[in-house]
Chain A
Amino acid sequence: MAAIIRTERLTKSYGAHRGIVDVDLEVAEGEIFGFLGPNGAGKTTTIRTLLDLIRPTSGKAFVFEIESSVDPVSIHRRIGYVPGEFALYDRLTGGQTLEYFGNLRGGVDRAYRDSLIERFDIDPSRRFKEYSKGNKQKIGLVVALQHRPDLLILDEPTSGLDPLVQQSFYALVREARDEGRTVFLSSHILSEVERTCDRVAIIREGRLVKVGRTDALRDLAHHQVELRFADGAPVDAFANLPGVSDVVVEAHTLRLRVTGPITPVVQVAARYELLDFVSREPSLEETFLAQYGQEAVDVRAS
């Protein structure tokens, strides 16, 4: 499948300050790609480099196989973007703002725009400066969505939205994916990424820590397994299995941590009389937190 976004050792420094370092990323056509990281990790810097709002210190970024700093206008023609923080024209109404951005792009389907206004429950007759924070965010989302772009780049898009509107937004994102369009969604809200995205990348201190399918990330993470035996716990049978660590024995109970496939543990456990077997699947949040404490690794898209 074609890569809609591709970066090669993308690095951006702000003088002595770290921005992003050697970020290698690939986003395939038609997927919802989550870009996860704590505040200041480099999510916005990566996005702004993709859009040629800032230029890389080294490395390259490609969107639609176009190098972002070579022909940004061709890229912009096919994208919709919501920045993490933005301002618009205070004197214009919401409707005039949407019309203006529609004019800048051309080819906006008014009926579709009206349907977005309705779905987000926006009053387009009010001036932008009169909107609440959430309503300003809705205007930004419609600006990004109204021309049905091939690629949506959304930097923390649900900031300020109430839960109902968030649901409408998630539905729109899934519709875009179903129509074959691509979504690049930056967020620090783990549940949002977990619920919405097909794949996710985790960035920490400017470096990409992990990239993988949202569910595969969980597999990559550890499982906490608790085995309660009828007789004494056979520690030696489990301690040397691949991926097993942190083995703790308490009377007839064995607790262990399993990284990677859990099958070997299940196969060995089947040889013994078990009273209970509990394997807890880690949440993405636990995965994220686990990664947060580890050294950066170079993991290509899987």
Chain B
Amino acid sequence: MTASAGAPQQAAAYPSIPFHRRIYGFGSVYGKTVRDSRLAFIIAAGMLGGLALVMGAAVGTVFPTPETRIEVNKLVGSMPASMVNLFGNATLMGEKLGTLGGYMTWKYGAMFALGTALWSILALSGTLAGEAARGSLDLVATSPFGKRRIALEKLAAHLTMLWLAMAILAIMVSVSSNTFGDAALGDPIPLGSAIGFALWVGFIAMCFGGLAFALAPVLGRAGSAAVAGVAMIVLWVMSGLEIGGPLVVLSPFYWTVDHIPLVGFYNWGALALVGVVAVVFLAVGIELFDRRDVGVTAGLSLPQLPADVLGIRGPVSRAFGDQLPRSLSWGLGMALWGALLASLVGSFSGLVAGEPNMSSIFGKLFPGYNFATAGGWLQLYAELFYIAAGFAAATFVSKWASDETDGRLEMVLATPVARARWVLAGGAAAILAVVVVTVLFALGTGLGAAAGGATAGDAILGSASLGLYAAAVVGIGVAIGGLWRTSLAAEIAALVVIATFLLDLLAPALDLPDWLHQLAITAHIGQPMIGHWDPVGIVLCVAIAIGGIGLGALGVMRRDIAR
């Protein structure tokens, strides 16, 4: 006996979905995914395009003559040989290192690729697995089209945004170099070369994003992102530091080491290989998603924190327990970078001490810094680490805010915990998380400085300035969350960090009015890495941290709790 479902009943004809809704909006899975990724696209395209533009302007201003370009080559020569090619292969570039494209590749080439790949990893690990974890994928997957089509549409949406961002990057690189560069020094970058660079960045991103996408149906969002992220860093470091022995052949960075389009060197075959691997990963991801159960993952047994430090004694310990994993991640990451960079300060300062021209060049970028000393270089790195410390603080604010945005706060406030106490406890826990990051960074930087022949004590003490700044960012975020709404607290704190970073670094270099520079909190902290502390900055940071948390406590007492 057979059964038949029969023909579906004729339904009333729906109006057709406009094309523009299918490509952006709620007309299709693709359109909705494009819509959902608009913010990430704006950030990624803005940062990539902005960095390209700023690089062109800064290099044109700071290194305007052939003599100054030679100083760049000398700086490269002063670095330990093993580290020269970490961000871009200076050895292969030879004399072209002195061009704008060469300098951009050497200083930031890998950063363009790593940053973009990070975006792809986060997007492609979460586009299906994240939705599955939330439960919304069940609804999408029961729509009248197959799982493979869902995966393809979601993937296509990310690739659309990725390659749009790459197009912007290519245009900005070319425009920037032609606007600010010196033709006599070989600065202008043809659009074709800029496209070659953007293709490399895009394919590297697709490759590691594809790895995350392939693993996500098995490992879930966090596991796949972690594996792809670690693979990316390891393979980049193996290629850049020329370590890892025969395993280095697994690295897409190694395959494309001689593809340096910004100085006119191309290896299209290697680039195609990266593209093919990326496509294979993406195809595997689609097939695995199609064949496996929706939302059922094997998981990844990451080490868990002991129950004692998860904090169940009270609001402060609970909030700190929530913050601890991310504070350890930030702290260890920054400590590693701090150690790496601090280990170079001895050789850099030695070189600058013997080259007055170079000291003058860097003095333009960072007025008041003495790059003939290790402390001056440490301070330069501290300036760069302010943005990392600030972002760490913004993520701590985000975690605190998630109590309300995720719906836990309602349960907590139904206990005898008062609203103000919740804010004070959350703020205190975020500050403790900042302390964890600062201590780890201080240890890493101190060890690196000692290894590089500099004084570890100044580096360790000076690292406290990062903690002060991060605490101030916590204060700003908590104040916004308490007074206004927690859902915007971390985002606004992150915007403050970006604005501070740009004001503090670019205002002096681009000769902008001093009052603009003074708006940056970090402009008031002094040069702690050489022992020069500005009491105004210390007081300012402490006041913002404590005052912000206090304001947040007052604010949350006056408003409704969100659901």
A143 within 8 A of partner (CB): yes
B563 near A143 with CB under 8 A, answer no
Q: Determine the residue in chain A with the shortest Cβ distance to B412.
A: A104
A73 touches B418 (CB 8 A): yes
Any chain A CB within 8 A of the CB of B20?
Answer: no
- The answer to whether A53 touches B312 (Cβ under 8 A) is no
Give Cα A53 to B432, complex, Å: 28
Interface size class of A (residues with CB under 8 A): 20 to 34
Q: Which of A72, A89, A92 is the most central at the interface, judged by chain B CB atoms within 10 Å of its CB?
A: A89
Q: How far is the CB of A146 from chain B (nearest CB, A)?
A: 11
Q: Could you say which residues of chain B place their CB within 8 Å of the CB of A72?
A: 413, 418-419
Beta-carbon contact of B410 and A104 below 8 Å: no
Mark out the residues of chain A between 239 and 291 whose CB falls within 8 Å of any chain B CB in the assembled complex.
none
The answer to whether A101 touches B411, judged by C-beta atoms less than 8 angstroms apart, is yes
Given contacts A53-B410, A92-B312, A100-B318, contact A85 B563 (CB under 8 A): yes
Whether B416 contacts A76 by the Cβ 8 Å rule is yes
B residues 373-423 in Cβ contact with A at 8 Å? 406-408, 410-419
> What's the nearest-Cβ distance from chain B to residue A58, in Å?
15
Q: Does B328 contact A (CB under 8 A)?
A: no
What's the minimum C-beta distance from A10 to chain B, rounded to whole angstroms?
Answer: 14
A73 pairs with B406, CB closer than 8 A: no
Closest to A101 in B: B415
Instruction: Provide the residues of chain A in CB contact with B559, threshold 8 Å.
Output: 55
Which among A44, A91, A97 has the highest number of chain B CB atoms within 10 Å? A91
With A76-B415, A89-B322 in contact, do A103 and B314 touch (Cβ < 8 Å)?
yes
Residues of A within 8 A of B407 (CB): 83, 85-87
The answer to whether B414 and A81 touch across the interface, beta carbons within 8 angstroms, is yes
The 8 A CB mask of A33-49 against B (1 = contact, 0 = none) is 00000000000100010
Q: Determine if B408 and A87 form an interchain contact, defined as CB atoms under 8 angstroms apart.
A: yes
The verdict on A88 contacting B411 (CB below 8 Å), with A53-B561, A54-B561, A76-B416 known, is yes
A89 touches B318 (CB 8 A): yes
Digitize A60-98: 1 where CB-to-B-CB distance is under 8 Å, 0 elsewhere. Answer: 000000000000110011011101011111011000110
Q: Are B411 and A81 neighbours in the complex by a CB distance under 8 Å?
A: yes
Contact A88 B408 (CB under 8 A): yes
Q: Does B56 reach chain A (CB closer than 8 Å)?
A: no
**CB proximity to A under 8 Å, residues B295-341:** 304-305, 307, 310, 312-315, 318, 321-322
- A104 and B322 in contact (CB under 8 A), knowing A86-B407, A87-B406, A91-B310? no
Contacts of B514 in A (CB 8 A): none
Query: Is A51 close to B, CB under 8 A?
Result: yes
Task: Please give, as numbers and ranges, the residues of chain A lying within 8 Å of B293 by CB-CB distance.
Answer: none
Residues of A with C-beta under 8 A to B312: 92, 96-97, 99-100, 103
Complex Cα–Cα for A91 and B304 (A): 9
The answer to whether A83 and B410 have CB atoms under 8 Å apart is yes
Residue of B whose beta carbon sits closest to that of A149? B414
* Interface residue A140 (Cβ < 8 Å from any Cβ of B): yes
Point out the residues of chain B lying under 8 angstroms from A104, CB to CB: 314-315, 412, 415-417
- Is B511 an interface position by the 8 A CB rule? no
CB distance from B13 to the nearest CB of A (A): 31
Contact call B416/A105, Cβ cutoff below 8 A: yes
Residues of A203-233 at the interface with B, using a CB-CB cut-off of 8 Å, are none
- A187–chain B nearest beta-carbon distance, Å: 18
On chain B, the number of residues with a Cβ less than 8 Å from chain A's Cβ atoms is: 28
Q: A96-B310, A100-B318 are in contact. Are A89 and B416 (CB under 8 A)?
A: no
Interface residues of A in 145-174 (CB under 8 A from B): 153
Q: How far is the CA of A48 from the CA of B415 in the complex (A)?
A: 13
Among A79, A86, A143, chain B packs the most CB atoms within 10 A around the CB of A86
Q: Which residues of B contact A79 (CB under 8 A)?
A: 414
The CA of A99 and the CA of B563, in the complex, are separated in Å by: 24
A139 to B408 Cα, complex, angstroms? 13
A85's nearest neighbour on chain B, judged by CB, is: B407
CA distance A153 to B413 in the complex (A): 13
Expressed in whole angstroms, the minimum distance between the Cβ of A157 and any Cβ of chain B is 13
Within the complex, the shortest CB–CB distance from A89 to chain B, in Å, comes to: 7
Contacting pair A83 B415 (CB below 8 A)? no
- The chain A residue sitting closest to B416, CB to CB, is A77
Residues in B neighbouring A51, C-beta threshold 8 A: 413-414
**Contact string, B155-196, partner A, CB cutoff 8 A, digits 1/0?**
000000000000000000000000000000000000000000
Contacts of B315 in A (CB 8 A): 104
**Please, which residues of chain B bring their CB within 8 A of the CB of A53?**
410, 413-414, 560-561
- The reply to whether B408 and A73 form a contact with Cβ atoms under 8 Å apart is no
Quick one: which of A77, A92, A105 has the most chain B CB within 10 A?
A92
For B304, B411, B559, which residue has the most chain A Cβ atoms within 10 angstroms? B411
Minimum C-beta distance from A55 to chain B (A): 6
Chain B contacts for A91, CB-based, 8 A = 304-305, 310, 321-322
The listed residue with most A CB atoms (<10 A of its CB), out of B312, B322, B417, B418, is B312
**Chain A minimum-CB-distance residue to B305:** A91
Chain A hits for B314, CB < 8 A:
103-104
Judge whether A86 and B310 touch: CB under 8 Å: no
Q: Which residues of B contact A44 (CB under 8 A)?
A: 563
CB-CB under 8 A from A153, the residues of chain B are 414
Which residues on B sit within 8 Å (CB–CB) of A54?
560-561
CA distance A104 to B311 in the complex (A): 12
Write out the residue numbers on chain B whose beta carbons fall within 8 Å of the beta carbon of A97: 312
- Inter-chain CA distance A76–B406, complex, in Å, is 21
> Closest residue to B405 on the A side, CB-wise?
A87
A55 to B304, CA, bound (A): 40
Chain B positions 529 through 563: 1 when the CB is less than 8 Å from some CB of chain A, otherwise 0: 00000000000000000000000000000011101
Q: Taking CB as reference atom, which chain B residue is nearest A105? A: B415
Q: Which residues of B contact A83 (CB under 8 A)?
A: 407, 410-411, 414
Which of A76, A87, A89, A140 is B413 in contact with, Cβ under 8 Å?
A76
Q: How far is the CA of A81 from the CA of B322 in the complex (A)?
A: 23
Select from chain B the residue with minimum beta-carbon distance to A140.
B411
B313 (CB) vs chain A CBs: closest residue: A103
Among the interface residues A55, A81, A87, which one has the most CB atoms of the partner chain B within 10 A? A87
20 further contact pairs, Cβ within 8 A, besides A76-B413, A86-B407: A44-B563, A48-B563, A53-B410, A54-B561, A55-B559, A73-B416, A76-B416, A81-B411, A83-B411, A87-B407, A89-B318, A91-B321, A91-B322, A92-B310, A92-B312, A100-B313, A100-B318, A101-B411, A104-B412, A153-B414
Q: What are 6 A-B pairs with beta-carbon distances under 8 A?
A: A53-B410, A53-B413, A53-B414, A72-B419, A86-B411, A89-B318
The 8 residue pairs across chains A and B that have the minimum distance between CB atoms: A81-B414, A100-B312, A54-B560, A104-B415, A87-B407, A53-B561, A77-B416, A87-B406
